[in-house]
A and B are shown apart, each in its own frame.
Chain A
Amino acid sequence: MSDLIKYNLRKNPFAHITPNFSFSNKRNMVWADMAKLKDKFERIFKRLISRGEEQVVLNWGTWGGGKTFCALYYYNEHLENENIESIYIRLPKEGKTIDFNLQKEIFDFISFNKIKSKIQELKTLMAEDELLKYLTNIIKSEEYAKAILLIGNNSKATDDLIKHYMFNGLNKSELKKLDLARNIESVNERAKFIAGIFSLFTYKDEDRLVLWIDEMEDLVHLNSKDSTKVSMFLRDLIDLLNRSVAIFFNFSLAENQRSTLEYLLGEALSRRIQNYIQFDSFDKENAFIYISELIKANRIKTNKSLSPFDKNIIGKIIEDIQPEKLTPGEVNKVFSELLNLALDEDADNISIDLYNQYLSNVSAFL
């Protein structure tokens, strides 16, 4: 148990300054306030899970607004559901090989062995010919359907070759060994290959797949040719997968820059987005609710106290943060640092003096 015990806290409620996979799990992720926002996601997941409807959603809004948290929250929510396969990636940064990197990031996240196990599981449910037919029917390419099924083989030599095939490409004699005619080269071919992999995880009626792509705003660092590759890849993926799949894009953007979205995503991809969900900054009342709910969720003993903060000091801090910066990310940053300062100073609570001491060092962002 940490030093926070004296404040009646199990752990720092504001630790998620930048949500991180390695530290997040279902137990310590608390969805505080933002009830309307949560309701929107619950509806989307209901449509996906109960009716298998494809969902393409763009989450947009200010930096620190909670988009990444939302992705990790639902990733963790679905982790124990064996019918849902969740994938979380960030938009790769390297422009020239962006389509290859997208394919690689998705593949790495799922993992070779998981795909192998899935194919082996499906082979117990149906003949290999049937599985080949199923994949071919979805991705409209027998060649890549064949290549995907090779992942499910039992030979180390074939494993090595198929990994090279996916990441580096094979020469003619190597392709011949696998009885394949060509490598994966174009953007369209990469989308087919990934759509085929995804389809393995949506074979059964109750199977669902959720893909989160974070930091889509990095499209602005790509030239028009490379950003078109991203749009084409995602458009083809969406078109090939028409059931049991939800794709979420997270895009940080100021409110008055909304019109830039279409230009960065490309018209074809924009047209396929069914839902635009905005992550606003808080108003003062919501900020207060957010803070108190986080504290309450992390208390050791249930009582009315907001220890080590109190109502007045929380109100004062909220007043001091610039309205456009009043986001979950910024609130977590300020409150987490204050909590650490209180621990460093061995303070009984967070008083106005302690807050002023904190302000003297960090006044730049308040």
Chain B
Amino acid sequence: MSKYNRYNCVVDASSYINLTLFNDYAGKTILDFFSEKANIHFSRCVKQEINRHRTKFMPTPLQQEKSVYNIQYYKTHKKYELKLFDEYDEGKKNRGEKWNLAVTLDMFLSKGYKNLVYVIDDFNAVRGVLKTSLYSFPLYQIWSSFDVIVYLLIDHKNFTRDLAINALKDINANLANDDPKTKREKTERRITNLNNYIKKIERVQKLIVK
């Protein structure tokens, strides 16, 4: 796929962190594989969050800068935020998630980007602040890091089933914004999550033999 037909993925800090936890997938991070197949974007605000929660294997801030999609705060972001969310709090809560949604919409509405994907692992934000707005625009797909893994299994010739399974386990064990009340609920949720995606991987494997 040429660079211009690739997926344009707007990645939240939660996913960016999860995709750069380890670099032992054939010596690379999941983000390395992902950026070989898709264009990675995020808002300036998410870049700041990423820098606050750096992982060992993240690209340098200079490399990250190439992914920043700039929108002006007063002219553009505020306009989106006022229209997208019922309560305007000057972006104090879930700033990154809101800015990234503004970026995703602006990429389509102002620049005409296609193949858009909004990538997020903060499921509390998806169920909470983003709930209505995120699902109002049929312009982009919504993925988690787990979907990124399934996508790579399909589209990246060097991303094998074993890498996919290890990556699933690693990200599943690290889910931060997934905080049920009891240990049992947490364990159940993670097992359910792993089970669901393993089934997807098995399904994909039936179609795509590597």
B170 touches A218 (CB 8 A): no
Q: How far is the CA of A223 from the CA of B173 in the complex (A)?
A: 6
CA–CA, A220 to B196, complex, Å? Answer: 13
**Per-position binary interface string of chain A over residues 200-242, scored 1 when its CB falls under 8 Å from any chain B CB and 0 otherwise:** 0000000000000000011011111101000000000000000
Is the CB of A252 closer than 8 A to any CB of chain B? yes
Interface 9-mer from B38-46, B51-59, B114-122, B187-195: B187-195
Closest Cβ–Cβ distance, residue B33 to chain A (whole Å): 16
Q: Which residues of A contact B174 (CB under 8 A)?
A: 223
A221 touches B198 (CB 8 A): no
B202 partner residues in chain A, CB cutoff 8 A: 259
Contact (Cβ within 8 A) A220 B191: yes
Q: Given A260-B195, A260-B198, A263-B169, decide whether A220 and B24 contact each other with a Cβ distance below 8 A.
A: no
User: Is A50 in the interface zone, CB < 8 Å from B?
Assistant: no
Contact B191 A257 (CB under 8 A): yes
A253 to B187, CA, bound (A): 10
B residues within 8 A CB of A223? 21-22, 169-170, 173-174
Q: Cβ of B186: which chain A residues have Cβ within 8 Å of it?
A: 221
Mask, B59-73, CB within 8 Å of A = 1, is 000000000000000
Known interface pairs A223-B174, A225-B24. Does A257 touch B192 (Cβ–Cβ under 8 Å)?
yes
> CA of A278 to CA of B92 in the docked complex: distance in angstroms?
50
Q: Which of A217, A227, A256, A263 contacts B187 (CB 8 A)?
A: A217
The answer to whether A263 and B165 touch across the interface, beta carbons within 8 angstroms, is yes
Interface contact A217-B169, CB-CB below 8 Å: no
CB under 8 Å from chain B, chain A span 239-275: 252-254, 256-257, 259-260, 263-264
Given A257-B192, A259-B198, A63 contacting B169 (CB threshold 8 A): no
User: What would 16 more interface pairs be, CB under 8 Å, given A217-B191, A220-B173, A223-B21?
Assistant: A220-B172, A221-B186, A221-B190, A222-B173, A252-B187, A253-B191, A254-B191, A257-B191, A259-B199, A259-B202, A260-B195, A260-B198, A263-B169, A263-B194, A264-B169, A264-B194
- CB-defined A-B contacts under 8 Å, sample of 22: A217-B187, A220-B172, A220-B194, A221-B186, A221-B187, A223-B21, A223-B22, A224-B165, A224-B167, A225-B24, A225-B170, A257-B191, A257-B195, A259-B195, A259-B198, A259-B202, A260-B194, A263-B165, A263-B169, A263-B194, A263-B198, A264-B194
Chain A interface residues (CB < 8 Å from chain B): 63, 95, 217-218, 220-225, 227, 252-254, 256-257, 259-260, 263-264
- A-B pairs, top 10 by smallest CB distance, nearest first, are A224-B166, A224-B169, A257-B195, A223-B170, A260-B195, A220-B190, A223-B173, A220-B191, A224-B170, A221-B173
